[in-house]
Amino acid sequence: MRSIPNLLLIVIITLSTVMPAAAADPSIQKLLDQAGIKPQGDQRGQMDIIGFASTAEQMDIVFTQCQQLAERQREILEMRYGWDDETTFIAGVCPHDDYYYAGRLYSLLLSRVRAKRVIIFGVFHKAKYFDCRDVLVFDSYQTWHAPYGPVQVSPLREEIIERLPSEDYIIDNDMQMVEHSVEAIVPFLQAYNREVEIISILVPYMAWDTLEKLAGDFADALTDICLEKGWRLGEDVCLICSADAVHYGDSGWGGKDFAPFGADALGYQMAVKRDTELAENFLCGIIKREKLKGFMDCCVDSEDMTKYLITWCGRFSIPFGLNIAVSLMNTLEGRKLEGTLLDYGTSVGEASLDMEGLGGMGVTAPNNLHHWVGYAAIGYR
């Protein structure tokens, strides 16, 4: 049970870091005003309702279609690796783009997540607005809006926070509310398990040394909790790193040219090849910290952590979450973490959903050779 001083500390942090942010910066309030479903009391709303399901009726249709689209690849994976219906993941890399484009990849990964508690390490796309870096961002919401009713935030969140050094984290509901990279995953988790509990943690800009230190502190805290409670990875807790792969093209990226290979069919093929090699070389097989650092070095300018080298938005969430998973696997199970690329797709190449009956859910961006996004679904055991 948490002590009263700790509860007071969280309230004070929340009031001092969340409430003034929007008041001090009109641009932040403008972001909050764009939320499709506003927060109500201690329940988080939903930032994006375009491209993502917000009602049970929408999610029923999305879920059924995505299951069907994923079935063939699921059968291939089962034959290749000897998996069956009982095969589960203890960690994963999951897309967070529009369901219309990426839904099949969500299904491939999240259908094998069976843990009661899922910790989701999100991208913090709006970190620059808040001048946020070098800390983890928690929320203080008790529930999150989801299609089939509110999803409970796990009490594990407070247990982790109690054990982290105070300089490792902040608690800020505004930051969590404007970010879509976690909320996109929650409806699929809920569709597979109505009783799922979540914890959302945003991972903003940080250098490798900082990332490794924060991941170590987090892993120590979570390991102690798992040992005390007798929890098993994959059954009681699972870690998901939210990340889309390359953002590619020469149009619609805020005036930036993200098409180093050209915005034509050949450029598309070269970018896809680079993406799959990046995933297979650094994020698959036996996972070591050297590989995770190699991934980050490929994606991030070491002189300026806010600049991309390769435009994977999960350049911090992936190495952070997998660092923790490596530690947990080693300490709790005495073995190495191993990743499998379940499949790769793009907003150009994926079979799109049938939008009939989805109530105008729509899409948030175009999909063509001048503007597309890649997706890697990776499962870890």
Angle between helices 208-229 and 289-299 (to 10 degrees): 140
**Against a cut of 0.75, is the pTM above it?**
yes
- Report the pLDDT averaged over residues 206-232: 99
Q: What is the mean pLDDT of the chain?
A: 94
Q: What percent of the chain has pLDDT over 90?
A: 90
All structural domains of the chain, each given as residue ranges with its CATH number in brackets, are: 4-380 (3.40.830.10)
What DSSP string runs through 285-317?
EE--HHHHHHHHHHHEETTEEEEESS-BTTTTH
Q: CB of 22 within 8 A of CB of 28?
A: yes
Residue with the bigger pLDDT between 372 and 25: it is 372
**Predicted local confidence at residue 149, as pLDDT:** 99
Nearest to 313 by CA among 180, 185, 139: 180
Q: Which residues contact 143 (CB under 8 A, 6 or more apart)?
A: 42, 43, 44, 150, 151, 152, 153
Local confidence band at 10 (pLDDT 50, 70, 90 cut-offs): very low
Exposure string of 213-230, with b = 16+ CB inside 10 Å and e = fewer, is ebbebbbebbbebbeeee
Burial of 252 (0-12, 13-18, 19+ CB in 10 A): middle
For 168-184, what is each residue's pLDDT tens digit?
A: 999 999 999 999 999 99
For 85-100, what is each residue's pLDDT tens digit?
A: 999 999 999 999 999 9
Q: Quote the tokens at residue 135.
A: 């800390």
Residue with the bigger pLDDT between 12 and 231: it is 231
- Report the pLDDT averaged over residues 334-350: 98
Look at residue 134 and give its three-state secondary structure: coil
Sign of CA pseudo-dihedral 348, 255, 377, 127: negative
CB atoms within 10 A of CB 26: 9
**Predicted local confidence at residue 264, as pLDDT:** 98
Angle at the Cα of 132 from the Cα atoms of 129 and 134, rounded to 5 degrees:
160
